[in-house]
Structure 1
Amino acid sequence: MDTGGFRCIECNEEAAELHRDYRNGILKLTICEFCQKPVDRYIEYDPVIILIDVILCKTQAFRHILFNTSLNIHWKLCVFCLLCEAYFRWSLLQGSEQSSDPADIIRYTKEWDFYGMFGLAALELWAFCSGVLWFLWVAVGALQGEKLDFRLLLRALLLSCYGKVLLIPAVIWEHDYTPLCLGLIKLLVLTSNSQAIRVILNSSRRLSLMAVCVGLLAEACVVQACEKLPLSIQDFLTFE
């Protein structure tokens, strides 16, 4: 197999290969030269088990996904998560507008409210990622003099937003505990973001948490700016 670019999921040291193929379906996992453990045991695991470990924010699972796989679905996952968030906000907007005319349901599907919510969600995500990357550039790049791979960091941030997919079940199975579920989903996303930053930079938990907090601050500033605009983005995109 191609060499280079791999990492040991246990000690984070570089590795030339993950396994050796002796043909006839015989694979032998490569042992790390530093920690004397398999470089990546997840290559033998079922994807469901890997997904569970990712949800549990295990460092080894994040290293497997970010370093040892060629998973390039971060932009597709980003768009899908934005659609989930936009649908959730759009459902709240439509739920607050009571109407007795069944034809309004069809009319609402043709309006631009959903696209406005998608635009707002994309703007907030852009502000969050920009805030995180700016902080890391200052704290790690400028102060410590280390070179950052912003493409890899952005890929890690987008992939770690997978928790937003849970917004759809929260809308479908709406109940009295929905606000609590939304809070837990937000906490899952932020925890995953922090863990992804920590894995990419091999840094302390404090640095990754500070980066996430700066991203949240940038996102909050954008939200406040949009709310104070004389003509909101939602009103601009909605034709009635």
Structure 2
Amino acid sequence: MGKDAFRCVECNEKATELHRDYNNGILKLTICGSCQKPVDKYIEYDPVIILIDAILCKTQAFRHILFNTRLNIHWKLCVFCLLCEAYLRWSLLHGSEQSNDPADIIRYTKEWEFYAMFGSATLELSAFCISVLWFLWLVVVQLQGGAIDFSLLLRALLLSCYGKVLLIPTVIWEHDYSPLCLGLIKLFVLTSNSQAIRVILNSSRRLSLSAVCVGVLSEMCVAQACKKLPWSVQDIKMKM
């Protein structure tokens, strides 16, 4: 990373280094010149502790992950979460129905609908991210005259969707789950998205929540539009 590439996890002040490496493997944490606290205390923490603080949506943990690490798994995480969400929607659509006949057209219909669910989830996530970026560009850049690193902001949005990994138990165990559980997962993901925006822009909670609300509205519009499309083979045949 280049000069002033790091951030203090406490006050968001820029820093040139996180620690100094002395002889014999002795490391000393860099002290922030603004708040007089360690620039990044998390470099001495166990990854499990960092993950717990991130789940608790602590600002310091988000700054550590987004500014002071080279965690570039956001695209892989995005695809993985989309696959889980697609399978979840597909299983909700068909329940536990199974077919042992390899030539059964219903089985291929279900496979097509799984890919359709994946495409639908991808479109919804794209609409969410694009709407959030557009809203922040309009408010921060056009109205306030500020600047935004859109690549960093997009990375933050995708990484903050890590809460969708909570869908994995439903994919593995295939048990009956309540809409309340899925609603709580969605709320957690949106809360993480809002916190990520606050950390990247160092903005108010009102701005980040407004951006998330705009993204959710756009996502809902795309979801409603996707429901009107013929996702199943039977529907396509009926229209032919």
Normalising to structure 2: TM-score of the pair?
0.90
CA shift for structure 1 position 153: 0.6
For the residue of structure 2 that corresponds to 1:28, the secondary structure is: strand
- 1:157 aligns with 157
Gaps (5+ residues) in structure 1? none
- 2:134 aligns with 134
- 1:9 aligns with 9
Pair 1:176–1:127, CA change in 2 (3 A): same
Is the Cα–Cα contact under 8 Å of residues 170 and 177 in structure 2 kept in the other structure? no
- 2:100 aligns with 102
CA deviations on 1:136-170 (whole Å, 9 max, x unpaired) are 01111100011111101100000000011111213
Q: Distance in 1 between matches of 2:70 and 2:195?
A: 19
Instruction: Work out whether 1:113 is the aligned partner of 2:113.
Output: yes
- How many residue pairs end up in the alignment? 235
CA shift for structure 1 position 2: 5.8
Instruction: Work out whether 1:25 is the aligned partner of 2:25.
Output: yes
Is the Cα–Cα contact under 8 Å of residues 116 and 238 in structure 1 kept in the other structure? no
- 1:235 aligns with 232
CA deviations on 1:180-233 (whole Å, 9 max, x unpaired) are 21111001100000000000000000100000000001111111222234xx2x
Q: Equivalent residues in 2 for 1:23-172 (5 A)?
A: 23-95=23-95, 98=97, 101-103=99-101, 108=107, 111-172=111-172
CA shift for structure 1 position 90: 1.4
CA shift for structure 1 position 95: 0.5
Letter in 2 for 1:108: R
CA shift for structure 1 position 171: 4.2
Pair 1:118–1:105, CA change in 2 (3 A): farther
Is the Cα–Cα contact under 8 Å of residues 112 and 233 in structure 2 kept in the other structure? no
After superposing the two structures, state which structure 1 stretch, 111-120 or 72-81, moved more.
111-120
For the residue of structure 1 that corresponds to 2:135, the secondary structure is: helix
| Identical counterparts, % of pairs | 75
For the residue of structure 1 that corresponds to 2:20, the secondary structure is: strand
Is the Cα–Cα contact under 8 Å of residues 65 and 71 in structure 2 kept in the other structure? yes
CA deviations on 1:31-62 (whole Å, 9 max, x unpaired) are 00000000000000011110110011000000
Normalising to structure 1: TM-score of the pair?
0.90
CA shift for structure 1 position 71: 0.7
CA shift for structure 1 position 117: 1.0
Q: Distance in 1 between matches of 2:159 and 2:188?
A: 13
Over the aligned positions, Cα root-mean-square deviation in angstroms equals 2.4
Letter in 2 for 1:235: S
